Amino acid sequence: MVEYDYSDLFEEHESVSLIIVNSSATVTGVEDDSPEIENADFVLTEDNLDQESLDLRECLNSDNNLKFGSMEASCMQFDIFNDQSIPTLKDIEVSIYLYFEGDSSTLFQVGVYLVQADEYSDDRSTRHITMYDLNFFLRDYDITKWYNNVFKTTAYRTIKYLRDDLFDWLVEENLI
């Protein structure tokens, strides 16, 4: 079972507000009010979501044992009510934010995701959205050079060290 450091945030607040925008948008928290949003191609809130469908899976590996090549990424799936003002989201990079009690000064970014699927339901009343965080796309990179360099001096590294060092390397190589 995963233990989240800030899980009590969700238990101590009566209302949680969700905002999903394209990642190039700017979202700024405002005390006792909704956030200011600039340069957004679309804005999804909890009013757009079919509340019964939200599913967020955070996992490093869904197998019982960690093995090379089995690292996964978080996946978020939900249904939105079909609205012509919301463009097709497939292949769009989005940012997800939460804030509490209608006070967007508590705003924090959950993550940056890439939408893999935006599919209509059979009756076209909703659209099913599936998105993955950007770790999902690390599978497309050849990290052999990085891997060999990391384990050149020692056979042991922590997962935190590997994650941080890998992202530093990806930035240095201009891959992300």
Whether 1 shows a pLDDT value over 50: the answer reads: no
Whether 53 shows a pLDDT value over 70: the answer reads: no
Counting residues of the chain whose pLDDT is more than 90, the rounded percentage is 28
Whether 47 shows a pLDDT value over 50: the answer reads: yes
List the domain boundaries for the chain: 8-140, 141-176
CA 156 distance to own-chain centroid: 29
More confident residue, 130 or 71: 130
For 24-33, 57-66, 86-95, which range has the lowest pLDDT when averaged over its residues? Answer: 57-66
Residue 107: how many CB atoms within 10 A of its CB? 18
For residues 153, 72, 60 and 97, what is the CA-based torsion angle, rounded to 10 degrees?
Answer: 120
Nearest-angstrom CA–CA distance, 122 and 119? 9
Q: What is the pLDDT of residue 64?
A: 63
Mean pLDDT of all residues in 34-63:
79
CA 117 distance to own-chain centroid: 14
Nearest-angstrom CA–CA distance, 12 and 9? 6
Mean pLDDT of all residues in 62-72:
58
Whether 52 shows a pLDDT value over 70: the answer reads: no
Q: What is the pLDDT of residue 3?
A: 45
Q: What is the pLDDT of residue 70?
A: 56
Q: Name every residue whose Cβ is closer than 8 Å to that of residue 114 and which is 6 or more positions away in sequence.
A: 91, 92, 93, 94, 131, 132, 133, 134, 136, 137
The residue whose two tokens read 């804005």 is 43
